[in-house]
Amino acid sequence: MLAQAQPVTGLYVGAGFGANMLDKTDITPTSADQRALGTLGAEYSWGYAGVLSLGWGYGNGLRTEIEGNYRSNDVSDFTANNAPARGATGTALSYGAMLNVSYNIDLGGALGGITPLCRCGPWLHLA
């Protein structure tokens, strides 16, 4: 017999760690000084991401939390004026914060103990 999932009540801490893929970046200069550098571009390797959250469960499926995240990707290829820039290296780091409101949808065990989660909230992303 499967145990029935109970709504989160009170203070909780969450954490997660995983892979991160960052799309390529193209930079087109706009001023005369910048145009001397030419068009720049970077592609990135798979990186890692981590998240920590602190929240409060109200016991009725509703939860509020604050979440912080961190991502890191190394540059795998760098171009200047559409030509490879040999020896160029770098790392893209980003940080973010979110305020989340979540609701666990109780389906009475219809999914074998899995409870769908509806989540929304504003976020702030810092690079």
In the chain, where the domains are located = 13-126
- Could you give the CA distance from residue 44 to residue 27 in angstroms, rounded to a whole number? 15
Task: Retrieve residue 13's tokens.
Answer: 């801490």
Per-residue pLDDT, averaged over 117-125, amounts to 63
Q: Which of 122, 120, 118, 121 is nearest to 103 (CA)?
A: 118
Higher pLDDT, 117 or 101: 101
Q: Given this model, what pLDDT does residue 33 score?
A: 66
Helix (H, G, I), strand (E, B) or coil at 33: helix
123 — pLDDT class (breaks 50, 70, 90): low
Tell me: pLDDT of 56 over 50: yes
